[in-house]
């Protein structure tokens, strides 16, 4: 995902280089029926298409042509936060001011796709961006004590257990209302 105008410029330059490389490859004398040749062309075309899609997405965001973003899983939430900031034409500084944070902190969060942000911080950012979360699928948590989950980097088993106890004691909807 392109996150700012500098990355847009870099992506456009890379796209031009790939198109030039593909065009040169097409002009070279090759056995154009060989699998190796087709694989090369297909690979270049795939990379070109991916970069074109990223450019279109970013330009749609900055032009205000994208109004509904959908996270299909929790992994998509960072991209939704970044895309929402871009679509609302907020700079890192402006978002930081809304949250009482420095511009550099917002830049660090986005550079790492919010890996260093806590869940409460992610909720603060979402609320500052006036994001509306709508869950369409139900989530079930097992009551058995013999389950085990892999915790993301930086999250201890104790922190995960504390979160599980809070959800069980207060209920998810009460926790969300307090956030």
Of the candidate ranges 67-71, 133-137, 161-165, the one whose mean pLDDT is the lowest: 133-137
Q: For the range 61-69, what are the long-range contacts, defined as Cβ-Cβ under 8 Å and sequence gap of 24 or more?
A: 61/86, 61/87, 62/86, 62/87, 62/89
Mean per-residue pLDDT for 70-91? 89
Cβ–Cβ contacts within 10 Å for residue 158, how many? 9
pLDDT at 65: 78
Closest CA to 15 of 57, 58, 59, 46: 46
Average pLDDT over residues 141-157: 59
What is the pLDDT at residue 22?
93
pLDDT per residue as tens digits for the range 100-120: 999 999 999 999 999 999 989
- What's the chain's average pLDDT? 83
Percent above pLDDT 90 for the chain? 53
Nearest to 60 by CA among 8, 122, 96, 131: 8
The predicted structure's pLDDT at residue 175 = 47
Would you kindly state where each structural domain of the chain is located, as residue ranges?
A: 5-62, 74-128, 138-179
- Please report the pLDDT score of residue 121 as a whole number: 94
pLDDT recorded at residue 149: 53
Q: Is the pLDDT of residue 46 over 80?
A: yes
pLDDT digit string (tens) for 58-72?
A: 999 998 876 677 777
Considering the entire predicted model, what is its pTM? 0.66
């Amino acid at each position: 995902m392109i996150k700012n105008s500098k990355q847009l410029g870099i992506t456009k330059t890379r796209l031009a280089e790939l198109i030039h490389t593909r065009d040169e490859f097409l002009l070279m004398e090759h056995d154009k029926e060989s699998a190796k040749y087709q694989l090369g062309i297909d690979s270049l075309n795939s990379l070109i298409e991916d970069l074109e899609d990223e450019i279109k997405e970013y330009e749609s965001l900055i032009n205000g042509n994208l109004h509904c973003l959908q996270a299909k899983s929790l992994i998509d939430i960072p991209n939704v936060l970044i895309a929402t900031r871009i679509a609302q034409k907020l700079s890192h500084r402006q978002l930081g001011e809304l949250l009482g944070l420095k511009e550099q902190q917002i830049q660090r969060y986005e550079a790492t796709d919010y890996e260093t942000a806590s869940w409460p911080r992610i909720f603060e950012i979402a609320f500052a961006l006036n994001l509306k979360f709508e869950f369409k699928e139900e989530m079930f948590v097992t009551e058995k004590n013999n389950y085990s989950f892999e915790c993301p980097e930086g999250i201890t088993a104790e922190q995960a257990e504390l979160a599980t106890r809070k959800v069980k004691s207060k209920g998810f909807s009460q926790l969300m209302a307090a956030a």
